[in-house]
Chain A
Amino acid sequence: MHAYTNLFGLINIPSYGLMIATGVIVANIIAMIIIKKSKYDLNDFIIMEGYCLFGAFVGAKLLYLIVSFKDIQWDKIFDFNYFNNLMLAGFVFYGGLIGGLVFVFLGGKIHKINTQEYIRKFIFLIPLIHGFGRIGCHMAGCCYGRPYHGAFAIVFPENSYALPGVKLFPIQITEAILLFTIAFLMIYLGEKKNYYYTVEFYFIVYGIVRFILEFARYDEIRGIYMGLSTSQWISLGLIIIAVGMIIKKKRQK
């Protein structure tokens, strides 16, 4: 829709990056408010977040390389321009989620921080930032939905990643709304109800949401294995892991 946003008539900046940066800022403002009200250490939180961002970058890029392994010209990998283009090209969200969590645990071990406590308290940041990212997808026209003629169908203009001039299912906005709902539910449960299973809640609810929404996606470049996309397989994996975590915790009690 608006791949570039004109700021104050001065500069055109990519809308996707703008939305992600906005998401990161909003999420951190909410996190700061929670930290001020509670016993958490701001520096420890920043360290954890730094590790999470770094892990997310590595994981998202790694899964992208795995998914598009066949499309990459590996003989040109030492060509600087090609390598730089490869670094500039896509990311896969689920790779980022897994990489981020792995690096948070690593950071916790290195800096002797109680990782679990921070993850359970602040995992709502992920769906919150992701929701802003999906609005960015809508603006850039990527991650688009199937042709659809029902209510709220959207038509993308020329020069967007989506099929131009065709009525499509508004999957990016649908997912953004669901992600914001998940994030605010998690904040409510964590802050008001002192709910313990926030990570499991996120894995299960987002896993189900993503699994279903994947059927409505129409962008071509996505790995399909045995009829399901890579993201659907990872969704199933996350749901199983979350159920396993709940059972383990209940048995410990």
Chain B
Amino acid sequence: MGVASLVLGILSIVIGLFTTGVFGWLGAIFAIIGIVLGAVGRKNPEKQGIATAGLVCSIIGLILCLILYIACAACVGGAAALM
């Protein structure tokens, strides 16, 4: 769990930093799964260290992806761009 969380967290940071929001949705999903796996991993005292690292990386990745990706979560914007 902890290793998976760390991998997903690092992936989300890379996506957040280097795709300028284009694949932010993917990075956000990776980060959220990383957060859940990190928190689950932290319940195992032997693997707590790596799980905490995964959790922290995933949170940073999520924040980066949220900032650059989310356009307008509360409204039905963006439809015009598809037409």
State whether A96 touches B73 (Cβ < 8 A): yes
Which chain B residues border A111 with CB–CB below 8 Å?
40
Chain B residues with Cβ below 8 Å from A73 are 82
Question: Interface centre among B35, B40, B43, B76, by most A CB within 10 Å?
Answer: B76
For the complex, is A116 an interface residue (Cβ under 8 Å from B)? no
Taking CB atoms, residues of chain A closer than 8 Å to B55 are 46
Cross-interface CB contact of B70 among A20, A67, A134, cutoff 8 Å: A20
Contacts of B63 in A (CB 8 A): 21, 24-25
**Shortest distance in angstroms between A246's beta carbon and chain B's nearest beta carbon?**
27
Q: In whole Å, how far is B63's beta carbon from the nearest beta carbon of chain A? A: 5
Report the Cα distance A96→B33, complex, angstroms: 17
Chain B residues with CB under 8 A of A18: 67
Q: What per-residue 1/0 map shows which CB atoms of A130-157 lie under 8 Å from chain B?
A: 1001101100101100000000000000
Determine if A143 and B72 form an interchain contact, defined as CB atoms under 8 angstroms apart. Answer: yes
Is the contact region of chain B dominated by helix, strand, or loop, or is it mixed?
helix
A51 to B23, CA, bound (A): 21
Q: Which chain B positions have C-beta within 8 A of A136?
A: 72
What separation, in Å, do the CA atoms of A142 and B80 have in the docked complex? 13
Does more than half of chain A's interface fall in helix, strand or loop, or is it mixed?
Answer: helix
B68 close to A (CB within 8 Å): yes
Are A133 and B73 closer than 8 Å at their CB atoms? yes
Q: Give chain B residues whose Cβ lies under 8 Å from the Cβ of A68.
A: 76, 79, 82
B68/A86 in contact, CB under 8 A:
no
Min CB–CB distance A93 → chain B (angstroms): 4
Which B residues lie within 8 Å of A237 (CB)? none
In the assembled complex, the CB of A100 is this many whole angstroms from the nearest CB of chain B, namely 11
Contact B74 A143 (CB under 8 A): yes
Contact size range, A: 35 or more
Q: Are the C-beta atoms of B73 and A47 separated by less than 8 Å? A: no
Smallest distance from the beta carbon of A247 to chain B beta carbons, Å?
Answer: 30
A44–B35 Cα distance when bound, in Å, is 11
Which residues of B approach A to under 8 Å, CB–CB?
21-25, 28-29, 32-33, 35-36, 38-40, 42-43, 55, 62-63, 66-83
18 pairs of residues in contact across A and B, judged by CB atoms under 8 Å: A13-B68, A16-B70, A20-B70, A21-B63, A44-B39, A46-B35, A46-B55, A54-B32, A68-B82, A88-B21, A89-B78, A90-B77, A107-B36, A137-B74, A140-B72, A142-B72, A221-B77, A223-B76
The chain A residues found within 8 Å of chain B, CB to CB, are 13-14, 16-18, 20-21, 24-25, 43-44, 46-47, 49-51, 53-54, 57, 60, 64, 67-68, 71-73, 82, 84-93, 96, 107, 111, 130, 133-134, 136-137, 140, 142-143, 161, 219, 221-223
Question: Assuming A14-B70, A64-B76, A91-B71, what are 6 further A-B pairs, CB within 8 angstroms?
Answer: A50-B36, A67-B76, A72-B82, A88-B25, A90-B78, A161-B77
